[in-house]
Amino acid sequence: MNIFAILNHSGVFFKEEPVRELHASLEKAGYKVVYPVDAQDLYKMIEMNPRICGVLFDWDKYSLDLCSEINALNEKLPLYAFANQHSTLDISLTDLRLNLHFFEYALDMADDIALKINQATEEYKDQIMPPFTKALFKYVEEGKYTFCTPGHMGGTAFQKSPAGSIFYDFYGPNAFKADVSISMPELGSLLDHSGPHKEAEEYIARTFNADSSYIVTNGTSTSNKIVGMYSAPAGSTVLVDRNCHKSLTHMMMMSDVTPIYFRPTRNAYGILGGIPQSEFTREVIEQKVAATPNATMPGYAVITNSTYDGLLYNTQYIKETLDTKYIHFDSAWVPYTNFNKIYEGKCGMSGEAMPGKVFYETQSTHKLLAAFSQASMIHVKGEFDKESFNEAFMMHTSTSPQYGIVASTETAAAMMRGNTGKKLIQDSIDRAIRFRKEIKRLQSESDSWFFDVWQPENIDTTECWKLDPKDSWHGFKDIDDDHMYLDPIKVTLLTPGMNENSEMSETGIPASIVAKYLDERGIVVEKTGPYNLLFLFSIGIDKSKAMQLLRALTDFKRGFDLNLTVKNFLPSLYNEDPSFYEGMRVQELAQGIHDLTRKYRLPELMFKAFDVLPELKVTPHAAWQEELRGNVEEVPLADLVDRVSANMILPYPPGVPLVLPGEMVTAESRPVLDFLEMLCEIGAHYPGFETDIHGVYAQKDGSYTVKVLKQN
Ligand SMILES: *Cc1c(COP(=O)(O)O)cnc(C)c1O
């Protein structure tokens, strides 16, 4: 951590004897000293090197500009000024929150100054570190011996075994020392929300603009179940986004509730649209209640915000219109919305509480911020019963939570605070926009095809771009105005094959082939649709990664245009079935898959598959109970029509359930089945292109089966 910058100018400053002495004292105290050549160099250094913990400069030479520039990068960074001559304090400086210390030039003072610098450094670290993490680190540093769990005892047990030692050496000592049991009173308890754990949750709530926040160490899958199980008692009706994550289906299998659904749209590219405004109105909800056996007016509603393709809602409209006590925004994909003003009014925690309503936002901290896998947060705004809520929390939480996950969740919050946090998010947005423009430039310079970006014509303003009913780029029909917005960070690239009017062209390049190519190059795509690929510009994406992706895309184009053999171009794919791919060229492969997609009339199928929902026969809970009782049988996929599905059927991608347990695919909802059959047929034809479909079982003979309830 301890890098100290001394701002040099014209070669004069650092030659001075006092600085030379200070340099020696700082090194003795364990600091690494660096010398930026000028102010610009210093700013770059601070930006690129978060381990810089102090800056020394000459007050007579630099003051106001330097301080305000550094302030914008990190307002907590300790600054030290050598003040020699008259030295006045500029009045506008007092407006800045600064951590500024003055020293006089003098000889033989260096050790004293280094001591003071060291104190300020420690205070600085103390200030930027969040409470639980600090307590945990302190606990580890004290190195207590314990005689409780975990059984590895700070890593000791691993080192008594050859395999264990290899494991230990890989992770290093602190991973084990910091893996401590819940019985350390000084660290409090996650389950009781006491001690440093409580402080961590309060710190997170302040950071994320929530009334209360909860740290969940088992992903948003668990956060969603906690929220759902608290908010919807048995026998009640829940209003669920049909484009929901499977954890919400699981919640409905666990809890005896009756679902009714928000019906989102889907565009011709197969991109998930939003829920239209009308779906939030009382009239439409009443109609759904009337059409569903045993349904009553719902008290709890859950909306996926943002959608899987990066569309955010006008949440203020939803909060004002939707007449349920509990409104849950599943924001697994957007834990950063509180840290840039472009997201204002588009997320669960923005705006004020509303009397009689409770707003939740669940976020996968690990997905887009920096935290260990499974790190998740629940944020709440409004009045709720904390004790009952905590029962639901504990019902889903291990009595031995991983403190590393807790600390990383809290550290993710610490990283978002202040100007350093704002800058991280702003940089991600800027980087994504630059990438978008770069693709557009390459496209305009290309003599033939190139990748396109799913975005408005004009992206010159940094904002979440509105899906305007007057525009056609988004490919949605009859969209509401001021309702949905595209997050710049979520970049969807389009491959040739389909246009925004749902027309399929003669030739095409299915996105799955591009995804396979990128995978060969070590680039993993977040999500692959039929002719679209999604890339996330999270804070971990730096310039070199963005450049690598651009390179890979242009290389793909070159290889594709040269019509290389599958063997050369996609060796891993070739190896999945060498005899099948022998001699095949990439254009033939692309066209083959494209032709299958055309045969099934994918655009129409997509619309229809999501337009008419299968019919609810029994609740997901009841269907699951039937499965447990053994009242299910496996039938060929083609026989799904007029049978009640026992499982949820969920193709990945996009990872949203198509059929829920207890639902029957009827003649009207048959496109659902056609869609599944298309996915299966592509997989059956082309080794390596099998779609992973939860709830559909591949048999040895190449056929597919599903589980349905037995007919009495
Ligand atoms: C990923 C995801 C979840 C589950 O989050 P985990 O942290 O992986 O458990 C929930 N909802 C949505 C919308 C998701 O995309």
Closest ligand 1 atom to Cα of 218: 9
> Mutation test of ligand 1: which of 217, 244, 245, 275 has the most ligand atoms closer than 8 Å to its C-beta?
245
**Residue 331 alpha carbon, nearest atom of ligand 1:** 13
Atom of ligand 1 nearest to the CA of 304: 13
Provide the pLDDT for residue 89: 64
Q: Dihedral through CA 492, CA 496, CA 501, CA 504, nearest 10? A: -140
What mean pLDDT do residues 38-62 have? 91
Token pair of 420 as six digits:
């350093």
Parallel, antiparallel or unpaired: strands 358-364 and 326-330: parallel
Mutate-to-test residue for ligand 1 from 226, 247, 362, highest number of ligand atoms within 8 A of CB: 247
- Cis check: omega of the bond before 496, within 30 degrees of 0: no
Distance 328 CA to ligand 1 centre (A): 14
Q: How confident is the model at residue 202 (pLDDT cuts 50, 70, 90)?
A: very high
Whether residue 159 is predicted with pLDDT greater than 90 in this model: the reply is yes
d(CA 229, CA 392): 7
* CA dihedral (17, 19, 24, 28) positive or negative: positive
63-87 burial code (b ≥16 CB/10 A, e <16): beebbeebbebbebbbbbbbbeeee
pLDDT given for residue 304 in this prediction: 97
Lowest mean pLDDT among 37-41, 163-167, 292-296, 509-513: 37-41
pLDDT band at 684 (very low <50, low <70, confident <90, very high): confident
| CATH fold group of domain 420-587 | Aspartate Aminotransferase, domain 1 (3.90.1150)
Give the nearest ligand 1 atom to 373 CA: 7
Does 501 have pLDDT greater than 80? no
Kindly tell me if the per-residue pLDDT of 337 is higher than 80.
yes
Region 317-321: mean pLDDT is 97
Dihedral of the CA atoms 391, 397, 400, 404 (nearest 10)? Answer: -130
Taking the centre of ligand 1 as the mean of its atom positions, its distance from the CA of residue 246, in whole angstroms, is 8
State which of 215, 221, 397, 652 you would mutate to test the pocket of ligand 1, scoring each by most atoms of that ligand within 8 A of its C-beta: 221
Burial of 47 (0-12, 13-18, 19+ CB in 10 A): middle
Report the separation in Å between the CA atom of 333 and the middle of ligand 1, taken as the mean of its atom positions. 7
Q: Which region holds residue 315: left if phi is over 0, alpha if psi is between -120 and 50, else beta? A: alpha
Max CA pair span of the chain: 97
Distance 407 CA to ligand 1 centre (A): 20
Whether 24 and 73 have beta carbons less than 8 Å apart is answered as no
129-148 pLDDT, tens digit each:
999 999 999 998 887 766 67
Centre of ligand 1 from the C-alpha of residue 332, in Å: 5
Residue 637's H or E segment, with its range, is: none
Amino acid 229: pLDDT: 97
Which residues have CB under 8 Å from 229's CB, separation 6+? 251, 254, 255, 392, 395, 396
Topology given in CATH for the domain delimited by 188-416:
Aspartate Aminotransferase; domain 2 (3.40.640)
Note the pLDDT of residue 205: 98
CA distance 184 to 401: 12
Q: Are 76 and 99 a contacting pair, CB within 8 Å?
A: yes
Question: Which of the pair, 176 or 90, is modelled with greater confidence?
Answer: 176
Residue 330 Cα to ligand 1 middle (Å): 8
Nearest atom (ligand 1) to Cα of 655: 15
Mutational pocket test of ligand 1: of 312, 367, 405, 534, the residue with most ligand atoms within 8 Å of the beta carbon: 367
Q: How high is the pLDDT of residue 578?
A: 96
Calculate how far, in angstroms, residue 224's C-alpha sits from the geometric centre of ligand 1: 9
Query: First vs last Cα of the chain: how many Å apart?
Result: 69
In this prediction, residue 123 carries a pLDDT of 96
Q: Please work out, in degrees rounded to the nearest 5, the angle formed at the alpha carbon of residue 17 by the alpha carbons of 16 and 19.
A: 75
Q: Estimate the share of the chain in helix, then strand, then coil, as percent rounded to the nearest 5.
A: 45, 15, 40
pLDDT on residue 86: 53
Least confident of 6-20, 633-647, 685-699: 6-20
Supply the pLDDT for residue 240.
98
Band (61; pLDDT cuts 50, 70, 90) = confident
CA nearest ligand 1 atom 15, residue: 332
Distance between Cα 5 and ligand 1 center (Å): 42
Q: Where are the domains of the chain?
A: 3-128, 149-180, 188-416, 420-587, 612-709
Which ligand 1 atom sits nearest the alpha carbon of residue 244?
13
Strand partners, 304: 330
> Ligand 1: distance of its center to the CA of 594 in Å?
31
- Is it the case that residue 706 has pLDDT exceeding 70? yes
Residue 543 pLDDT class (50, 70, 90 cuts)? confident
DSSP string, 359-403: EEEEEEHHHHSS--TT-EEEEEES---HHHHHHHHHHTS-SS--H
Which residues are near ligand 1 (CB < 6 Å)?
Answer: 219-221, 224, 245, 247, 304, 330, 332-333, 364, 376
CB 519 within 8 A of CB 556: no
Tell the residue nearest (CA) to atom 5 of ligand 1. 220
Quick one: pLDDT at residue 103?
83
Which CATH number is 3-128 given?
Answer: 3.40.50.2300
Q: Determine the Cα–Cα distance for residues 259 and 300; give it in Å rounded to an integer.
A: 10
Question: For residue 506, how far is its CA from the centre of ligand 1 (angstroms)?
Answer: 37
CA-to-CA distance for 253 and 64, rounded, in angstroms?
62
Tell me what the mean pLDDT of segment 301-311 comes to.
Answer: 95
**CB 311, CB 273: distance < 8 Å:** yes
pLDDT at position 708 over 70: yes
pLDDT at 40 over 90: yes
Q: Can you tell me the distance from the alpha carbon of 573 to that of 516, in angstroms, rounded to the nearest whole number?
A: 8
Per-residue pLDDT, 94: 66
The edge-to-edge listing of strands for the beta sheet with 704-709 is 632-636, 704-709, 696-698
| Closest C-alpha residue for ligand 1 atom 8 | 219
What is each CA distance from 146 to 133, 153, 346, in whole angstroms?
Answer: 20, 7, 48
Q: pLDDT tens digits for 217-251?
A: 999 999 999 999 999 999 999 999 999 999 999 99
DSSP 433-480: HHHHHHHHHHHHH-SS---EE-S-S---S-SPEE--TT--TT--SSPP
Report phi then psi at 353, rounded to 5.
Answer: -70, 160
Could you tell me which CATH number the domain at 612-709 has?
A: 3.90.100.10
Q: How much is the pTM? A: 0.94
Cα of 373 vs centre of ligand 1, distance in Å, is 11
Rounded to an integer, what distance in angstroms lies between the CA atom of residue 319 and that of residue 259?
20
CA distance 231 to 300: 6
Q: What is the C-alpha to C-alpha distance for residues 241 and 266, in angstroms, rounded to an integer? A: 13
Residue 606 has pLDDT above 90, yes or no: no
Ligand 1 centroid vs 22 CA: distance in angstroms?
52
**pLDDT at residue 10 is higher than 60:** no
Q: Where are the beta strands (DSSP E) in 21-85?
A: 32-34, 52-58, 78-83
Best CA proximity match to 397, nearest among 190, 204, 589: 190
> What is the number of other CB atoms lying within 10 angstroms of the CB of residue 25?
19
In sequence order, the 6+-apart residues with CB closer than 8 A to the CB of 346 are: 305, 312, 313, 314, 315, 337, 464, 485
* Among 229, 496, 481, 542, CA closest to 362: 229
Tell me, what's the pLDDT at 147?
Answer: 66
* pLDDT of res. 656: 80
Q: How far does the centroid of ligand 1 lie from the alpha carbon of residue 331, in Å?
A: 8
DSSP state of 613: P
Instruction: Please give the number of the atom of ligand 1 that sits closest to the Cα of 222.
Output: 9
Burial profile 291-321: b = 16 or more Cβ within 10 angstroms, e = fewer: ebeebeebbbbbbbbbbbbbbbbbbeebbee
Q: Which atom of ligand 1 is nearest to the CA of 366?
A: 7
Q: How far apart are CA 357 and CA 674, in angstroms?
A: 41
pLDDT in tens, 340-398: 999 999 999 999 999 999 999 999 999 999 999 999 999 999 999 999 999 999 999 99
Distance, CA of 567 to CA of 255 (rounded, Å): 50
Hey, how many other C-beta atoms are within 10 angstroms of the C-beta on 263? 18
Query: Which residue of 330, 363, 538 sits with most ligand 1 atoms within 8 Å of its CB, as the best mutation to test the pocket?
Result: 330
Vertex 302: Cα angle to 321 and 526 (nearest 5): 120
Q: According to the per-residue pLDDT averaged within each range, which of 386-400, 522-536, 664-678 is highest?
A: 386-400
Q: Which residue, by CA, sits nearest to atom 1 of ligand 1?
A: 332
Which atom of ligand 1 is nearest the CA belonging to 375?
7
Q: What is the pLDDT of residues 258-279, one digit of tens each?
A: 999 999 887 767 787 899 999 9
Q: What's the CA gap between 17 and 14, in Å, rounded?
A: 8
Centroid of ligand 1 to alpha carbon of 242 (angstroms): 15
Ligand 1, atom 14, lies closest to the CA of: 332
Residue 515 has pLDDT above 90, yes or no: yes
As a whole number, the mean pLDDT across the chain is: 92
pLDDT at residue 11, as a whole number: 53
Distance 245 CA to ligand 1 centre (A): 6
Instruction: Report how far ligand 1's centroid is from the alpha carbon of 228 (Å).
Output: 14
Confidence at 497, pLDDT banded by 50, 70, 90:
very high
pLDDT for 83 equals 76
